[in-house]
Chain A
Amino acid sequence: MIKKLLTYLAIPVIFIWLLITSFKASRWKPDNANELLSDFSWLNDWPKWLDIPLMKWINDWFKFFNEEYGIYFEIVNNFLLGAILSLKKFLVFLPWPLVIALVVAIVFFSSGRKVGTTVFVGICTFFIGFLHPKFWDKAIETTSIMLIGILICVFFGIPLGIIMSRSRKVRNAILPVLDLMQTIPSFCYLIPGIMLFGLGAVPAIIATVIYAIPPLVRLTDLGIRLVDIEVIEAAEAFGASRRQKLLGVQLPLALPNIMQGINQCTMMALAMVVIASMIGTRGLGDEVLLGLQQLNVGKATEAGLAIVLLAIVLDRITQAYGEKIQDRNRPLDKFNEKAKMKKAAKKQVTKESTKDGMEAEVKTN
């Protein structure tokens, strides 16, 4: 009760303090505050002195921040740049058929050996280079920037989601921040990013993380909270500690949602590629930008298509893995059908009759 009263009291106090500071800081204020009570013309148009000096505050703070802690940003910058460069160098060094083979192998196993998806992704990967030979290395550069960005998202996003799912207070505090990150125009943090990290790949990664991390955090939080309460209670009733509960029950059951979050994270990171090219990040995005600057519609479209192909490849990889996990938790007919078919085979039913049965099943489906 007392806490509530205090918060109710604090809000008007802060508001009045803001009014006074904005009045004092303004250059256009009347000489004497008493004039405001005799001359009411300031009620007509918005008065110039009624203006929070937020711009000045942020500029001062940013300048101080940049001067005092610039060295730490340098360290982060060097580290990230090194990571991107070595990943890129490695992938460029590999012969392109080998890279395609690697992608195909990853899709094949992560999708649970679905041939259709695998072939489709293989063709998409091939077409990235097929569109324009220059695109292959560019696509690799874009991918390495994104991969590092996604790794950072996963590293911070999933633990944040876990903390949010555990405490209502933390969730209420973080949700507005996530809203802010998703709605604030990306240039608002791209430019400060340049000032802190310089031009190139690193501010692009920071921007990618800011833009792409919210869906992952939200979906991790949601996924954990959606786990059936009775299942959680069952784990608790057997004396599972918080850690055992989290690692053994909550995370595995939230995994389809978390994978969906990673998928969304990937897609949003890719959407950032073109914007990031405006601050000098190399990759497929700068081809689009170049095409637009030269009014070369064909070139821009070609590069745009390459980005779409890259998106499809990454989407299939992350999506397929999530689906594979979900299959297991769902009461699937597929399982039962497989079991039935095995039993049928054991009973040595003739080939024809199983065929008929299967056809009938297909028809009923």
Chain B
Amino acid sequence: MSKIEIKNIYKIFGNYPDQILPMVKEGANKELVMEETGHTVGLDNVSISIKEGEIFVCMGLSGSGKSTLIRHINRLIDPTAGQVTVDGVDVLSLDDKEILDFRKKTMSMVFQRFGLFPHKTIIENVAYGLEIQKVPEDQRKEIAQGQIDSVGLQGFEHQYPAQLSGGMQQRVGLARALATDPQILLMDEAFSALDPLIRSDMQKQLIELQSKLKKTIVFITHDLDESLKLGDHIGILNGGRLVQVGRPEDIIMNPADDYVKAFVKDVNRTKVLRAQTIMTKKDQFDATNINPSTIYKIDENTMIEEIIPKVLKERCTMNVVDKSGNTKGYITSDELSEALTKH
């Protein structure tokens, strides 16, 4: 069962969104609506379902509606029409008090510019979610300290956010989000404001944390490389519409339209594609003429960047196997050149 279910969400910004809704439903695009009515279409019939324990990356350029979308999940923004279900609970039916409880217990959020409280120390910042939940002070200090240790910021507990570097501030943001032990983590361009080295560091840290914690993470970014690196599934937004949803390989191999193609064009495919994606299946491959001494076994999940040098050098054939060692298919230089050719 999916953890988060978003169904046919529309969001129109302006004075009379309800009057504009029928026009948008009939298929008028963002530019047309803006020109004729002065209303901005934020989201246009977006449906997504996100499984428990996965990282779902929502990708798009600025103005594509991705930040609007993530704020529908914890209802910082109310949709014009549509349905949001989290854990089977209809989020839109909650009243003012229930929505506060829901935000406290189920999810927390990490922000692009960190959103730390400048007047609170690091440990107070991390403990904020618990403070809101009225956890006694000793207990929340203890939990916060644990989170600070786990992101490697020991010794900075009593400093103020302004005294820390960007990367450290975002680690505080992450620790604050994790301190309430939420099931769902919403990350709004969490690493976009960081410089490249620190960003890849944080990506690694997130992947490590996720392998331990198994949260459901909704991650927003405008960077395709980042989304390919982190995402179990990726949704691509353009002008408020969901253009394509799929696994990273699907997006690379079968871009849905010109917009996605333009994105995918410059991606380094060798770091994204796995052996099982490009192999020729064993029943379609004729292995009889190949010298058995030039066949090597590789795991089906190997990235192809690891195969290329060997295949190029020794002109060998790779035998793709699954975990228990059964042959699933083969890769030769033909498959590699096919996969790496830009269409």
Contact = CB atoms under 8 A, between A and B. Distances in A.
A46 B116 CA distance: 64
B115 interface: yes
A252 B124 CA distance: 14
Contact of A238 (B118, B132, B159): B132
A332 B104 contact: no
Contacts of B23: none
A339 B162 CA distance: 14
21 contacts: A228-B113, A230-B114, A231-B116, A233-B111, A234-B128, A235-B128, A237-B103, A237-B107, A237-B186, A238-B103, A238-B104, A238-B180, A239-B103, A239-B104, A240-B100, A241-B100, A244-B132, A248-B131, A253-B117, A331-B163, A335-B162
Interface residues of A, number: 25
A239 B132 contact: yes
B276 interface: no
A238 B115 contact: no
Interface in A194-242: 228, 230-231, 233-241
Q: Which are the 8 A-B pairs with shortest beta-carbon distances?
A: A239-B104, A234-B115, A239-B103, A331-B162, A237-B109, A230-B115, A238-B129, A239-B100
B117 A231 contact: yes
B76 A233 contact: yes
Interface in B134-167: 159-160, 162-163
A301 to B, nearest CB: 45
B19 to A, nearest CB: 10
A237 B74 contact: yes
A330 interface: yes
A365 interface: no
A329 interface: yes
A178 interface: no
B89 to A, nearest CB: 15
A153 to B, nearest CB: 24
B119 A252 contact: yes
Contacts of B100: 239-241
Contacts of A252: 119
A330 to B, nearest CB: 6
A328 B104 contact: no
Given A249-B117, A328-B119, 15 more contacts: A230-B111, A230-B115, A231-B118, A234-B115, A235-B128, A237-B74, A237-B76, A239-B102, A239-B133, A240-B132, A330-B162, A331-B163, A335-B163, A339-B159, A339-B163
